[in-house]
Structure formats: structure tokens, C-alpha cells
Chains A and B, each alone.
Chain A
Amino acid sequence: MTTPRTLFEKVWDTHQVVAEKADAPAVLYIDLHLVHEVTSPQAFDELRRRELRVRRPDRTLATLDHSTPTLPAAADGTRPYVTPQAEAQVRTLESNCAAFGVELHGWDSDARGIVHVIGPELGATQPGMTIVCGDSHTATHGAFGALAFGIGTTEVGHVLATQCLLQRKPKTFAIHVDNALPADVSAKDLVLHVIATIGVGGGTGHVLEFRGPAIEALSMEERMTVCNMAIEAGARAGMIAPDQTTFDWLKNRPRAPQGDAWNRAVAHWQTLKSDDGARYDREVRIDAATVCPTVTYGTHPGMAAAMDAPVPAAANAQEARALEYMQVRAGKAMAGMPVDVVFVGSCTNSRLPDLRAAAEVLRGRSVAEGVRMLVVPGSESVRRAAEAEGLHEVFTAAGAEWRVPGCSMCIAMNGDLAQPGQLVVSTSNRNFEGRQGKGARTVLASPATAAASAVAGRIADPRTLMNEEQAA
């Protein structure tokens, strides 16, 4: 009998071109390479310097998302880039893709969007694949049972030129999530809870596998939210075994296999789960039933707690500094804290169900006076679907801004940012000091919590907001 293997090991084993040795890492084959404007220009330059071509343009897919403005183009087609340098960076990717024969979902594509939103939408992301991108949130694609991780620009060059990477085998870490999430508690609340439990560096050196009944019950969009933030616990990647939910979501997407090839693919994908008795290097159990609407209170994603629980006392000087930066008092709950800006978007929470969750809270209500709210769909496809349902009208009627797809205020390098001292309730993934603008204070939250906070003008529990008004 063969040794039971984890999902990660099955994907790793089939992609070793040259097996790992004591004195050399594995040469690992990469099935899909996603490219964007920020981390690729120096890599294309390296190819030019060495007179190399892109080995597999058919396994390479590019988009524009990080540096792109989210305000629409003017009547003459000019776009409001934050700086000429941002525009030059976009133009550089356009010319690199043209020169090297790489498919680019640029301004003229109806599939353009955040790289981790469009990969799955196009069906380019598939179970059992190895997927990389010069972006740490590549972990998102692990929701499909792919081994997906972020790489640096030097490695982007390696993959462009050889379709391979030098990699040491990471360790495995099972996150068993028992029971079920309570109604109206989201996948975002769950993943913040997981990171608070294992710590911001708790996953370093490991690939996380999220498993158990609470995970199996999640939609694909929710699974993407969970895997997206694996990196926020320091993990290389997060993975979830593919199942019928996965197959139903992928079927008939443009790049998914069709006809007989689809049936063969599904038969293979069904084998991609951890065997009974497979060993993990680490394991932890989480009870989903105990998860509440959760927000961050500090300056890294591990500093998270239920919004109505008292903020824990600082354990050390760094945590004390973080609380001071956030203007948060230990012992007091985050709920009720005044809000300046609300951002719904990013590769964590910009898909159609995320926008529906925010719209459900905003429908018939208004963004509180003095609060600015931005809603930024993850892709052109999400934007069209949301507009077909009239969600954009719900947002604009409530006083929120409905924008063009992009990374927007998650990375704040494109003109969308908060002012010093402002408190942002954000559905994105990082609450680092200055991440959303110098001096800006970020509170990570689910789309429903973000919308409820926009209405209340304070950090608010969406369940309370909805119930109070029903009772009134």
C-alpha cells in the first residue's frame, strides 16, 4: 500500500521536473503564470538582456490592476493615472505583452480585473495546478485545490523563461474547521479568526490546508476569501480540496476543459484530496460555531477579535505602539468606533456575492454623513453582473462611489487612498501602518460589516443593524 499523502503532496509530487535533493531544491513546473504591471517590468528586461523568449505564452496570462485608476476614462479616452510613472508602468506591460506574445487583459478587454479575480473567472485556475504570480495573494487560487503562491520579480523572470521555479518543499499545516459558521457570519470573519488563532507568522514555512465541514459548506467565492489570506498568517499557500462545488463553479468557463476533456479532468480532480491517515507537520482545530463578526484592532492581520469583545491588552511594546497608532483602547470593544472611510473591494472581497452582501445592508439606507464609501468590483465581469442586478444603483443611491475594477485602496498606489489619521473599514487583507495611505488606520472586516459601518458611521455589527430596524 502506498503512503497516504496530503493534497499538497499530490500536487507537489506531480510537478517536480527534477526532484529535490539535499544540495539542490526541486525544479518545479508551473502550469499557470499570472502577470501584472507592478512586479513584471524588471523580469521582462532580464529576458531581453539575455535574449530569451517567454517559454510558454499559452501558460501566461496578464492583466492590469495595481496601478490603474478606478475612475472612468475621460471622453477623449485619457485615464486619470495617479502619476505619469503609473501610466508608464501600465504602458510597459502593454508593450512587453505585445513583444513577448503574452495574452493581456488590458483596458480594451471585457475580462480585465484583479489578477486573482480573473484567473478563476476565466477558468484558467484549475484544481491540481501549480500557479504563481508576482503577488503574495496568489494564495487565493488554492481555493480550487491548486498549489498557488506568490513569487518575487527574479522568479517571475525564471518562470517566464523556463516555466519552472527552484523550490524547497514546504511543510504542511492542517486547519480543521469543525461545525458550521453561524448565519450571517462570513468567510472573512472566519479567516480573520484563524489568523488571530495561529498568529501573523504562524504559517511561515507551511502550506495551509483548510478542511472540515465548515469549509466544505463554503461557496467558491468564500473559499477564495479564506485562501487569499493564508499569506497573512505567513503561509506560502492555502489549499482546499476540490469537490462538486468546485466543479460546478468551473464548468463551461472559457478556459476550462470542454466535452470529454472535462469528464477526464473531473475524474482526475476527484482524486485531489488528502488521503485518510495522511500526516501533516502541524494541525489545529477551529470551531466555526464560535466565530463572530470579527475585525482587526491593530496593525497586522493577526491582531483581530470579535468586534464586540474587549480589545486585548498589549502583550509587548510593539502591540502597545500598534494600539496607539490605531487610537484604540485596550479593554474597549471595536464596535462603535467612529469611521471616516469604507472600502469594499480587493482580491479578498470584490466578487459578486461580496457586493451582494454589502448591497443587502445598504438597500434603502444611506452612508452616514461625513463617511466616504468606495465600492470597487474585482473585475469587468463582476461589474457587469452587479450592474445587471442593479447593485450599482443600490450603492450610489446610498451615497457610495461605484468604481472601475482594480486593486484600488487595498494597495493605495493608484490614487485611491485615505488621509492621515482617517479610520478605514476595509474588506481588503492588510492593516499595516500606512498601507492605505500614510497615517491611515485600517480595520479589516467583511463586506457586510463594512456596509453596516458605513451606515452607522461607526464600526457596526450588520446583524444588529438589520435586526434593530426590523424591530423598529
Chain B
Amino acid sequence: MKPLTRIRSRTAVLAHANIDTDRIIPARFLTTTERTGLGRHAFEDWRYRADGSDDPDFELNRPEARGCRILVAGRNFGCGSSREHAPWALLDFGIQAVLSSEIADIFRSNALKNGLLAVVVSEAEHRWLLDHPGVELSIDVAGSFIELPDGGRFAFELDGFARHCLLQGVDQLGFIRQHADAIDAYEQRVEQAA
């Protein structure tokens, strides 16, 4: 994972609450054995019309949303399945951060492991972000704050370990493997007790 320190972008807004992982990437695209190439199917059933052309009514198809790397989404974003294909699809689509007042646990965990910054903001801040689509934000990972165009800041909570991993591009499997002795000892202890 590449280190992630700052994201600067205008926002795109999907105000719907409870956007589930089937919305983000429908199950019929999960037969892949790769991590890449899912971006063209992100939000597939909202994004395209029956003839395959872009649906102009879908928020992310609007000209002002093109190229936005920060997605502001309604409450409880990413609920549903554990498919890591959801953050893979968003990243491949060009999204680097998701902001909401509530983000589902497994989605959030999967997102952070892939360098997709999933951030929970307060209800009031969330309301403001929903009401200001296209605002230019700068997200500072180290400082855990979102900077607004007028210099104002929304601070957010980010688990210290998750922040460290994002900033340093930490390989979490490598991190667990550093505890190999403790894992060996644990297994010996359990097997002796059995």
C-alpha cells in the first residue's frame, strides 16, 4: 500500500442513506479473481441506462462530479456484505476518501486496508458537506482534519494504528508476522491445555 498523507479534491455527493455494498458493486461482478478493473462497474445499476449509456440523472455522472476524489455519502455507507470488491471498485473508479456520519464496520476496515480513507464526521458537519457538493476540501491524514476553503476545519477521529498504516503505507500482514513468536507460544499454550 502506498503512503497516503493528504487528499485534495472537490467533493461529489451521494446523499442516500444506507448505500449498501450491492449498490457499490453488484454481486454479478464478484466472479472475478482479480482486484483490478472493477471501477467501470462501480454503482453499475445506478450509473448506466438500459442501453449501456451513462444515466445523466445519477449524481456521479454529472459534469461537476467528474474527477472528484472525495465522496460525501449518506449515513451508514457500505452496509451489507464483506466484499472487499466494494473499496476496490471505488478506488479503481477514482475515489480516495469517503465521508459520512456513519460507515459500516467491515467496509471501513476493508477500505482502510486498501488506502481508501473512510472517515466519520459529526452529524452537523455531515449536513454541511451534503449541502455543499463540489466544495474543495483538503484532508490531512496526519492531523486528522478536513480543511475547508475558508480555512475552517472539521477534525475527525482516526484510529492511531490505522493512521500510522496509511501514512507509512504499513504492510499489515508483515506487521502481524513480526509477532510470529507470540503466535507460536499461544498455539503451544492452547495445545498443551487441550
Q: Which residues of A contact B (CB under 8 A)?
A: 17-18, 22-25, 27, 29, 38-39, 41-42, 45-46, 50, 66-67, 82-83, 85-86, 88-89, 92, 134-136, 138, 150-155, 157-158, 161-166, 168, 170, 200-201, 204-205, 234, 236, 261, 299-300, 316-318, 321, 411-413, 430, 432-435, 438
Contacts and interface: CB of A to CB of B under 8 A. Distances in A.
Contacts of A46: 173
A47 B179 CA distance: 18
Which of B26, B31, B102 has the most chain A CB within a 10 Å cutoff? B31
Contact of B76 (A88, A151, A234): A234
Contacts of A438: 26, 45
B128 to A, nearest CB: 18
Which of A83, A88, A134, A154 has the most chain B CB within a 10 Å cutoff? A154
Given A23-B160, A89-B31, A153-B84, A164 B183 contact: yes
Contacts, number: 165
A316 B176 CA distance: 44
Contacts of A166: 161, 172, 175-176
24 contacts: A17-B183, A18-B182, A23-B160, A25-B159, A66-B30, A82-B31, A85-B32, A88-B33, A92-B33, A151-B109, A152-B106, A158-B172, A162-B173, A163-B187, A170-B105, A201-B102, A204-B105, A205-B105, A234-B79, A432-B20, A432-B22, A434-B26, A434-B45, A435-B22
A42 B35 contact: yes
B183 A152 contact: no
B34 A154 contact: no
A433 B23 contact: yes
A377 B165 CA distance: 43
A166 to B, nearest CB: 6
Contact of B31 (A24, A67, A435): A67
Nearest to A27: B179
Contact of A152 (B80, B84, B179, B187): B84
A200 B18 CA distance: 8
A314 to B, nearest CB: 12
A170 B108 CA distance: 14
Contacts of A39: 82-84
A161 B31 contact: no
B104 interface: yes
Nearest to A17: B186
A50 B172 CA distance: 13
A316 B130 CA distance: 15
Given A150-B82, A162-B183, 5 more contacts: A45-B33, A85-B32, A152-B82, A201-B18, A413-B27
B81 interface: yes
A152 B113 contact: yes
B10 interface: no
A382 to B, nearest CB: 23
A412 B15 CA distance: 27
A23 B170 CA distance: 14
Contacts of A321: 16
B155 to A, nearest CB: 18
A300 B16 CA distance: 12
Interface in B82-137: 82-84, 87, 102, 104-106, 109-110, 113-114
Contact of B105 (A24, A138, A165, A234): A234
B8 interface: no
B80 A85 contact: no
Nearest to A435: B22
Interface string B58-84: 000000000000000011100111111
B84 A38 contact: no
A163 B183 contact: yes
Contacts of B179: 17-18, 27, 164
A154 B31 CA distance: 17
Interface string B22-52: 1100111011111100000000010000000
Contact of A89 (B27, B33, B172, B187): B33
A456 to B, nearest CB: 29
Given A166-B176, A300-B18, A201 B75 contact: yes
A279 B30 CA distance: 41
A61 B182 CA distance: 24
B45 A433 contact: yes
A156 B139 CA distance: 30
A434 B172 CA distance: 34
B153 interface: no
A86 B31 contact: yes
Contact of A135 (B79, B81, B175): B81
A443 B114 CA distance: 34
A438 to B, nearest CB: 5
Contact of B79 (A18, A134, A300): A300
Given A430-B22, A432-B20, A17 B173 contact: no
Contacts of B102: 201, 204
Given A157-B173, A166-B176, A204-B104, A413 B79 contact: no
B82 A136 contact: yes
Contacts of B160: 22-23
B122 to A, nearest CB: 16
Contact of A38 (B30, B182, B183, B194): B30
4 nearest A-B residue pairs (beta carbon):
A152-B110, A150-B82, A152-B84, A41-B33
B15 to A, nearest CB: 8
Nearest to B177: A162
Contacts of A151: 82, 106, 109
A200 B183 contact: no
Which of B30, B32, B45, B190 has the most chain A CB within a 10 Å cutoff? B30
